[in-house]
Amino acid sequence: MSKVAVLGAGSWGTALSIVLADNGHDVRLWTHSKDQAEKINSTHKNDKYLEIMIPEKIKAYSDLEAALNGVTDVVLVVPTKAIREVCHNLNRIVKNPVRIIHASKGIEPGTLKRVSQLIDEEMDNYNYEDIVVLSGPSHAEEVAKRQPTTVTVASINEEYAKLAQELFFNESFRVYTSNDVIGIELGGALKNIIALGAGISDGLGYGDNAKAALITRGLAEITRLGTYLGANPLSFLGLPGVGDLIVTCTSVHSRNWRAGNLLGKGKNLDEVLDQMGMVVEGVRTAEAAYQFAAEEDVEMPITTGIYQILYNNQKPKDVVEQLMNRDKREEMDDLATLLRNRYTR
Ligand SMILES: NC(=O)C1=CN([C@@H]2O[C@H](COP(=O)(O)OP(=O)(O)OC[C@H]3O[C@@H](n4cnc5c(N)ncnc54)[C@H](OP(=O)(O)O)[C@@H]3O)[C@@H](O)[C@H]2O)C=CC1
Ligand SMILES: O=C(CO)COP(=O)(O)O
């Protein structure tokens, strides 16, 4: 059994700690809040984030050095905007070799970097090839209740991907492996933009047809950008692609869907974020993807529309009208070319 530090005690860090504790590992759940650590240790609940009781053997820490003492694996689960800060501190403290698995879903605006690239930049002596990403259709609320869930762990280091699979795998948490770090990270990050769109569509009162269109054309957009950035397009048909799109675009558990729903009902971004109280990763990732699409001339009309709603106060109804009235085109034209180019290279 392994000693594991889970860094980030929000919904997902807590749910993943439960999976690891169920598997018999020694789990330290680190939070940047002393009060929260004390509350978790005394009540075995983390009720701002999850309703369920936490196994007593999970120990919460607010001292990062103490949490990391003697661990073999570090699971990073803070919001993307906190990854650099946490890795900077990790870099200062970690002396023994550890394996790093991250489960955060975002892209940094400005630099347009994925989470594994941020980790790589902040950690002096850690190989990019050894970073593992865990992603897939997995609402924390359901994982914490041990409901059947499937995810993928990806690393260029095949042995580390298999070790991560072993660490998390159990009868209600099925884990696949992959070597497509770019595809798995982009699938998880970009689906949040489309989930905002699905929430907006529901908030406007549109039906299943509109949502199915968003999911499908959203997948085309994700595949287009992802393949441009070096991902294996097949990854987008897998759990961290279409799987995660379905789970976030169709569920009230999704914070991105919920935030979109409020936007569709007429609230502005500041009001929505105040009300959410949890991370809505799609907001920053929409900014990053919009910047990228504009700079590299990659066609991302849904992302562009959502960016305009979030950052330029465009009315959701006007954006839908613009999307519906774009030039007529063939459904698969550019995607077919993209795939053909990739496989005939
Ligand atoms: N929830 C889910 O079902 C899933 C989430 N994810 C991803 O996991 C990541 C984390 O999400 P999730 O746990 O849901 O988010 P939550 O909003 O539930 O929790 C975020 C946690 O991170 C903490 N935090 C914020 N800033 C910092 C910082 N600078 N240093 C240390 N801790 C910090 C927050 O602390 P505080 O309480 O003080 O704000 C909180 O404990 C995201 O990238 C998300 O996309 C992936 C799959 C499923
Ligand atoms: O990524 C998730 C499920 O796989 C959670 O999505 P939200 O961040 O929208 O809640």
Cα 75 from Cα 344, distance rounded (Å): 38
User: To 5 degrees, how large is the angle CA 188–CA 192–CA 198?
Assistant: 135
Q: Domain 182-344 belongs to what topology? A: N-(1-d-carboxylethyl)-l-norvaline Dehydrogenase; domain 2 (1.10.1040)
Q: Which residues are annotated as a binding site for sn-glycerol 3-phosphate?
A: 105, 136, 138, 191, 244, 254-256
Q: Sorting pLDDT into bands at 50, 70 and 90, what band is 169?
A: very high
Look at 82 and 95; give whichever has higher pLDDT. 82
Beta carbons of 238 and 200 less than 8 angstroms apart: no
pLDDT for 344:
72
Contact between 220 and 242 under an 8 Å Cβ cutoff? The reply is no
The per-residue pLDDT of the chain, averaged, comes to 96
Chain CA centroid to CA 231, Å: 16
Please state which CATH number belongs to domain 3-179. Answer: 3.40.50.720
Q: Is residue 125 over pLDDT 90?
A: no
Distance 30 CA to ligand 1 centre (A): 12
Selected catalytic residue, list 3, 57, 59, 191: 191
Tell me the pLDDT tens digit for each residue of 189-208. 999 999 999 999 999 999 99
Span 136-160, mean pLDDT? Answer: 98
- How is residue 216 written in tokens? 């499908």
208-240 per-position pLDDT tens digit: 999 999 999 999 999 999 999 999 999 999 999
Q: Please give the pLDDT value at position 341.
A: 77
Residue 339 has what pLDDT?
78
Cite the residue boundaries of each domain of the chain with CATH code 1.10.1040.10.
182-344
Token pair recorded at residue 221? 């957009």
Beta bridge partners of 152: 135, 176
CA 81 / ligand 1 centre spacing (Å): 10
Q: Would you call 191 a catalytic residue per the annotation?
A: yes
Q: At what angle do helices 316-324 and 181-203 cross, to 10 degrees?
A: 110
Region(s) of the chain under CATH 3.40.50.720: 3-179
Ligand 2 in reach of 248 Cβ (< 6 A) = yes
* Overall average pLDDT of the 40-58 stretch: 95
Q: Is 34 within 8 Å of 61 (Cβ atoms)? A: no
| Residue 54 banded pLDDT, cuts 50, 70, 90 | very high
Q: What are phi and psi of 74, to 5 degrees?
A: -120, 125
Report, in angstroms and rounded to the nearest whole number, the Rg of the chain calculated over CA atoms.
20
**Residue-wise DSSP of 38-85:** HHHHHHS-BTTTB-SPPPTT-EEES-HHHHHTT-SEEEE-S-GGGHHH
Structure tokens at 182: 């770019």
- Residues 108 and 115: their CA atoms lie apart, in Å, by 8
Q: Is the CB of 31 under 6 A from ligand 2?
A: no
Six-digit token string for 297: 């001339």
Instruction: Output the pLDDT for position 215.
Output: 97
Q: Are 95 and 126 in contact (CB under 8 A)?
A: no
First CA to last CA distance, the chain: 44
For the ranges 58-67, 68-77, 274-283, 324-333, which has the lowest average pLDDT?
A: 324-333
Cα–Cα distance for residue pair 266/283, rounded to 1 Å: 16
Q: Where are the alpha helices (DSSP H) in the chain?
A: 11-22, 34-43, 64-68, 83-93, 115-122, 140-144, 158-168, 181-203, 208-228, 244-249, 255-264, 269-276, 281-296, 301-312, 316-324, 333-344
The residue to mutate among 78, 80, 105, having the most atoms of ligand 2 within 8 angstroms of its beta carbon, is 105
Largest CA distance in the chain: 61
| Nearest protein Cα to ligand 1, atom 26 | 82
Show the ligand 1 pocket: residues with CB < 6 angstroms. Answer: 8-13, 31-33, 49, 77-80, 82, 85-86, 103-106, 138-140, 278-279, 281
ipTM score assigned to the predicted complex: 0.99
pLDDT of 345 above 70: no
Taking the centre of ligand 1 as the mean of its atom positions, its distance from the CA of residue 225, in whole angstroms, is 26
Q: Which of 67, 62, 85, 81 is nearest to 27 (CA)?
A: 67
Residue 103 binned pLDDT confidence (cut-offs 50, 70, 90) = very high
The CB density around residue 85, as the number of other CB atoms within 10 Å, is 12
